[in-house]
Every structure is written in structure tokens, then in C-alpha cells.
Amino acid sequence: MSWDVIARQDWALTVGERSTKYLLGLLAFVIVVTAYAYPLGGSGTYTTGRFAGVVHGSLTTLVPIVGVLLGYNAVVSERESGALRLTLSLPHSRADVVFGKFLGRAGVVTATLVASLAVAGFLVVYPFGELEPLRYLAFVGFTVWFGGIWTGIGIAASIAATTKRRALVLALFFFFLFVMVWDTVADGVTLALSFAGLVDGELPDPLQFVFGLEPGRVFGRLTDGFVDPSATVEGAWYLSEWVALVLFALWLAGPLGLAYRRFARGDLA
């Protein structure tokens, strides 16, 4: 297994790209500015736990686009250029390539999130805020996990497609489906069922579970259940934050695993 060599090389190449610096800089800027503005926005007790609920909306939009844009060309660009065949002629397996690329690019996203959330935590606490260390550590962990999920989706598109254009289209399809369209579809279904008199303004628990499968909503359930003391998770047991933990794990392993099965058996020509 030589995935660590590939991960180090990919890390070095990724952080040196100008587009990567812009993407990660935007992500860090939004997190830090939100933390700076949070104590200025009202009254009450300012805590790092409540800050998680404030910044959650920005993260569910920015982290997915950063993840898929960093991940979509991880493998397919080398496949198009023929460099992938050269890599596989060395003592590297296809699993090494995929795992190394994932660790390299997810590591870049992780470093950015950890650093910017550390600065954000300081801005929330200083001078009048309150640090809730366990809750905030959990939030940082969930956010890094969320970044890994979307980087994995981007890399899954990269190994499932045969050209960069197709990989980009596939990665952006998942971004628009889950980040831009999903809530509108859920609201439309709720409105239609309410108009038909089948529900009273709220979807039944099984449908809430189905629409709650989207990664951002799972991330929200974890934040509400484990981090933000001002929020609660209501509904049936399968809507709980503990089930959300399982769903988060499936989102991390599922897309990448399914795409790898196709990549491992496919022809690289």
C-alpha cells in the first residue's frame, strides 16, 4: 500500500494551485467574518455552541461547492493525460490512487476548516463570549466530516467519469440537486400535500426521513442535536441525531465506494 505517497504528492500539488487558494480563502473568510459579526448581531449570551447554529447555513452551501470543485479533477485529469497509466505501472494500485487522492484533498479542506474555525472560536469568545469546548470540538469534527463527504462526492465523480467535462457535470449535478434544489422539492411536496388536505403543514415522519437524507440536513441534525444548545431535534427515533451519525458515515463511504467499484473494473483507455 503506497497511498501515503500519493496523498503527500497530491496535497503539495493541490495547495499550490491558485484556484484552490481562492476557494479555500473564500471559505475561511466567510467563517471568520460570520464569527466576527455574530456578537454584534443582537443580545444575549454568545457561546461557541450557539455560533455553530449561526454559521451552519453558510457551511452547508460553501463546503459542498469547495469539496466537489477540489475533488472532480483529482483522478480524471491524470486519466485523460495518460499519467494515470504511468502511476499504475509503479507499485501503486487503483485503491492506493483513490484513497491517496481522497486523503490529500480532504486533508487540504480539513486544514482550512480547522484553522478558520479555531480563529472563529477565538472571535466568539473574546472578550465577552463563552467557550463550550466539548460542543465546539464536536462541531469542528462534524464540519470536517461534512467536508470529507463532499470531497468524496467530487472524487467519486472523478473516478466514475472518463473525461474532465463529464466529471465536472456529474459533480455539479449532485451539488445542485442536494444544495440548490432539494429544499425546494421538499417545500413543493409539503405544499401539495397540504393543499390536498393530506397533511397539516408538516410532512409525516417517514417523508421527513426521506428528505432528511440530504447531507446538509444530516449535518444540521447533528449540529442541532449535539452542538447548539438552543436547538432540538424532534420527531420519530429515525429522525434523531444518533441515526444522523450513521447516515453521515454512509455518506462518507457510500459514493466513493460505489464509484470505486466501477473504477476498479473499468478500462482506463
Q: How far is CA 106 from CA 51, 138, 149, in A?
A: 24, 18, 9
Report the C-alpha gap between 259 and 127 in whole angstroms. 48
Mean pLDDT by 10 residues, the chain (269 residues): 84 89 95 92 80 93 96 90 84 89 95 97 89 95 97 95 93 95 92 85 89 95 93 91 96 94 79
Among candidate residues 110, 156, 111, 154, the one with its CA nearest the CA of residue 257: 156
**The pLDDT of residue 230:** 87
Read off the C-alpha cell for 101: 487522492
